[in-house]
A and B are shown apart, each in its own frame.
Chain A
């Protein structure tokens, strides 16, 4: 089954304790992206990757790191989490940028709810 898998799905942690949210896709997609979703603010792009070893900032990259060492994985790293990073996070992937292609649009994971106390 084609899917984007995020782990963990839920996490409660404390300020300053480094954490990593993993994202893995099994569709051989070149493009992967991270978004955060907050009430009243919609979805905001954190980082994206057009291909292996190619990453770029989205609109809200501060406080986050990413890496793309292999095609299927795109982890999101919070080196020193703070309460303002409490949010719902989505990873997404597609063959060709955020537009996908005519048959396969950008596919989202199920989301990771982070609470940072």
Chain B
């Protein structure tokens, strides 16, 4: 099955700096890669996703890049703000597989943005 590794486990930055979180996946057939943000005591919420037919996607201060050859994808947050502090999860999904309902998550990254 799919295995997703996420690094770093914790990340501390100063307000205004950029933050990068990286994930690698094992199943080359995976073709959908969402990122979730979970604030303290709250539910995970999708913040951005990318499909394997594109290499990069951007939404305001957030961007995701995908390298299919190397089987890794990254979340980039620019001009970080204290409200970006949360746990971030990457995930991988094979939309064309027989286990269409499966979604495999990374271990999570605790991002702390210091004012």
Contacts and interface: CB of A to CB of B under 8 A. Distances in A.
B95 interface: yes
Interface residues of B, number: 25
A40 B10 CA distance: 10
Contacts of A50: 100-101
A100 B93 CA distance: 12
Contacts of A48: 101-102
- Chain B CB within 10 A, most for which of A43, A59, A90: A43
27 contacts: A31-B101, A40-B9, A40-B107, A40-B108, A42-B105, A42-B106, A45-B103, A45-B104, A48-B102, A50-B100, A56-B99, A59-B102, A59-B104, A97-B95, A98-B93, A98-B103, A99-B32, A99-B49, A99-B93, A100-B46, A105-B34, A105-B46, A106-B46, A108-B43, A108-B45, A110-B43, A111-B43
